[in-house]
C-alpha cells in the first residue's frame, strides 16, 4: 500500500493539464514530463519494450510467463496522463489524512476551504481510512493519476511475484483524454490486446460499460442591427432569437434535472450581440433512438425559426462525437463478468452503472478494442474538493491483479 501512495503522490505533483484550445498532440508540452518518467519506471520494472511515441502515448508489455502452451487472452490496461483544463493543476500539494475521523477536513485554513461530510456525505463511508486530498488550491489529479498508479503497482506486484501465472499484459498511458482526444492516435493494432480496461472510474466498485451517445451543436444566429429609435419592423435582435430557440427545447431535459439513464440538452455557452449570437450545446442520451430524437428536435427548432423569419437566420453545425460502448461490449460480456468476479474475490461489491459522460473506452471499443471502465476510487474530480481513499486504490490494484489471474485460468476462453 505504501508503494501505491508514494507512486500516486509523485505523479500528482507533475502538472499535466491539457488545453482544449491547442491544436497539437499532446495539447501541452508538460504532459511529456510524466510520459518520460513512466517509461523510465516501466523499464526499471523490467518491461524493456516501454516507450513513448511521437504523440506522447506510452506503451509497454509484460510478457506472458505461461509455458505450458495454454492459450490465454492478452489484456490491456489503460489510464490517461492529463488532468482537466477546468481547474488549476499547477503546484499540486496533496494532503494525506490518516485514520479519518468522519469530521470536517480543513484543506486551506487561510481561505476557510473545508471538505465536509455535510456537503459530501459519502465521506462517512471512509472513516478509519487514509484519505488523500488537495490543499484547497488545486485539483488533486486522481483523475487519472490514480489509475496510472494502480496499474503500475499491479505490474510491480506481478514482476515481484513470478509464481503468479499471467498471460501477456499490455499497458498504455494516454494524453489529452480530458479534452476528448485521448484515443486520436492510439495504436489499437500495435497495442495487440484482445480486450482492455480503462482505470478511470470513480468510487470503489464502479464497473461501467455504458456511456452517453454524444453530439454537439454549434449555432450562429444572424441578426440585423439598426438604430433602436427607428427599429420597428427592421431590427432583428439575434440574442432574442437565441432565447426563442432555447425556449423550443424541452426545459426538463437539462443536466440539472436529469440523472441515471436520462439524457439532456446542455447549453455550454451563449455569447452575442444584436448583430450575431453564438450558442454551443452538447446533446446526450444513452439510448440511441432517444439520442437521434434529440438531434431531430434541435434540427426542427432551427427549421421553425428559419421559416418564421423567412430566411436562414440560424446556421446549425451538428456533429456526432461518440457513441454508447454498450453495443460493442454486449457481444463480449465475459470481459464484464471477469471484472465482476475479480471484484468479488477482492471483497469489493460491483456497482454497475452508466457513465454520464464520455470515456476513452467508448472510442476504443468502436476502434475494435472492447474497453469497459473500472473504478480508481476517487471522488469529486476536477476541483479543489477532490479526494481519494488509499484503501480504494489498493483494492483497484487487487482487482487488476485478479482479472489477470482469472484470465490465466482460462476464464475468458
List, as one string, the DSSP characters of 293-319: HHHHHHHHHHHHHHHHHTS--EEEEEE
Q: Which parts of the chain sit beneath pLDDT 50?
A: none
* CA 302/CA 291 separation, integer angstroms: 17
Tell me how many helices (H) and strands (E) the chain has. 10, 17
Going by C-alpha positions, the residue among 21, 32, 22 that lies closest to residue 57 is 32
Cα 244 to Cα 264: distance, rounded to the nearest angstrom: 18
pLDDT digits (tens, 9 = 90+) for 344-391: 999 999 999 898 887 889 999 999 999 999 999 999 999 999 999 999
Following DSSP, what letter does each residue of 167-178 receive, concatenated? --EEEEEES-GG
User: In this structure, what are the phi and psi dihedrals at residue 361, rounded to the nearest 5 degrees?
Assistant: -60, -35
DSSP summary character for residue 92: -
Biggest CA–CA distance in the chain, Å, is 89
Q: Which of 133, 88, 142, 92 is nearest to 115 (CA)?
A: 133
Q: Which residue has the cell 460493442?
A: 328
In angstroms, the CA 124 to CA 118 distance is: 10
What does the CA dihedral 385, 28, 37, 393 come to, rounded to 10 degrees? 30
Residue from 244, 241, 192 nearest 221 by CA: 241
CA 117, CA 103: separation in Å to the nearest integer?
A: 7
| Helix runs in 166-312, H state only | 188-191, 238-247, 288-309
DSSP lists the bridge partners of residue 267 as 281
pTM (2 d.p.): 0.89
CATH 3.30.70.360 region(s) of the chain? 217-322
Catalytic residue list:
82, 177
The answer for residues whose C-beta is within 8 angstroms of residue 337's C-beta and 6 or more apart is none
Considering only CA atoms, give the Rg of the chain.
Answer: 24
CATH of 217-322, one of 3.30.70.360, 3.40.50.300, 3.30.70.1060, 3.40.228.10: 3.30.70.360
Set of cell numbers at residue 163? 509464481
Q: What is the DSSP letter of 168?
A: -
Beta strand segments in 325-390, E:
351-352, 373-375, 387-389
Dist. CA 210–CA 142, nearest whole Å: 22
Residue linked to cell 479519518: 100
Residue range(s) occupied by CATH 3.40.630.10 in the chain: 2-210+325-408
- Rounded to whole angstroms, the Cα distance separating 35 from 372 reads 23
- Render pLDDT for 243-300 as a digit per residue (tens, 0 to 9): 999 999 999 999 999 999 999 999 999 999 999 999 999 999 999 999 999 999 999 9
CA dist., res. 73 & res. 402, Å (int): 14
pLDDT, position 201:
79
| Nearest-angstrom CA–CA distance, 4 and 98 | 15
Sign of the C-alpha dihedral, residues 91, 92, 97, 100? positive
Give SS3 for 268. Answer: strand
Specify the CATH superfamily of domain 2-210+325-408.
Zn peptidases (3.40.630.10)
CB 231 within 8 A of CB 274: no
Sign of CA dihedral 345, 347, 353, 356: negative
CB proximity list for 105: less than 8 A, separation 6 or greater? 95, 97, 114, 115, 116, 123, 131, 133
Amino acid at each position: 500500500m505504501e508503494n501505491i501512495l508514494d507512486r500516486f503522490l509523485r505523479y500528482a505533483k507533475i502538472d499535466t493539464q491539457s488545453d482544449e484550445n491547442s491544436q497539437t498532440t499532446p495539447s501541452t508540452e508538460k504532459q511529456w514530463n510524466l510520459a518520460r518518467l513512466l517509461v523510465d519506471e516501466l523499464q526499471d520494472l523490467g518491461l524493456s519494450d516501454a516507450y513513448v511515441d511521437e504523440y506522447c502515448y506510452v506503451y509497454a508489455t509484460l510478457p506472458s510467463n505461461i509455458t505450458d502452451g495454454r492459450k490465454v487472452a492478452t489484456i490491456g490496461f489503460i489510464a490517461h496522463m492529463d488532468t482537466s483544463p477546468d481547474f488549476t493543476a499547477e503546484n499540486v500539494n496533496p494532503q494525506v489524512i490518516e485514520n479519518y475521523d468522519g469530521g470536517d477536513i480543513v484543506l486551506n485554513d487561510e481561505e476557510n476551504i473545508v471538505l465536509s461530510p455535510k456537503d459530501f456525505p459519502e465521506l462517512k463511508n471512509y472513516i478509519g481510512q487514509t484519505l488523500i486530498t488537495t490543499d484547497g488550491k488545486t485539483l488533486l489529479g486522481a483523475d487519472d493519476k490514480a489509475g496510472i498508479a494502480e496499474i503500475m503497482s499491479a505490474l510491480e506486484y506481478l514482476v515481484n511475484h513470478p509464481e503468479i501465472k499471467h498471460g501477456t499484459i499490455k499497458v498504455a498511458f494516454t494524453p489529452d483524454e480530458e479534452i476528448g482526444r485521448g484515443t486520436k492516435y492510439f495504436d489499437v493494432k500495435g497495442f495487440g490486446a484482445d480486450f482492455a480496461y480503462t482505470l478511470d472510474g470513480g468510487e470503489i466498485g464502479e464497473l461501467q460499460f455504458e456511456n452517453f451517445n454524444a453530439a454537439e451543436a454549434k449555432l450562429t444566429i444572424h441578426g440585423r442591427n439598426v438604430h433602436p429609435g427607428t427599429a420597428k419592423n427592421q431590427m432583428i435582435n439575434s440574442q432574442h432569437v437565441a432565447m426563442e430557440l432555447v425556449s423550443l427545447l424541452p426545459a426538463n431535459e437539462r443536466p440539472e434535472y436529469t440523472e441515471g439513464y436520462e439524457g439532456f440538452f446542455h447549453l455550454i455557452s451563449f455569447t452575442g450581440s444584436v448583430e450575431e449570437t453564438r450558442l454551443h450545446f452538447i446533446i446526450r442520451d444513452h439510448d440511441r433512438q432517444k439520442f437521434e430524437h434529440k438531434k431531430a428536435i434541435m434540427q426542427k427548432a432551427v427549421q421553425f425559426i428559419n421559416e418564421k423569419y423567412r430566411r436562414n437566420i440560424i446556421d446549425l453545425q451538428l456533429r456526432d462525437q461518440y457513441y454508447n460502448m454498450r453495443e460493442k461490449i454486449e457481444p463480449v460480456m465475459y470481459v464484464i463478468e471477469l471484472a465482476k468476479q475479480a471484484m468479488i474475490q477482492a471483497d469489493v461489491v460491483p456497482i454497475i452503472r452508466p457513465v454520464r459522460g464520455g470515456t476513452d473506452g467508448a472510442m476504443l471499443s468502436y476502434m475494435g478494442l472492447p474497453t469497459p471502465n473500472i473504478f480508481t476510487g476517487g471522488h469529486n474530480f476536477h476541483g479543489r474538493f477532490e479526494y481519494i481513499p488509499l484503501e480504494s486504490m489498493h483494492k483497484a490494484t487487487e482487482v487488476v491483479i485478479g482479472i489477470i489471474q482469472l484470465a490465466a485460468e482460462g476464464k475468458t476462453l
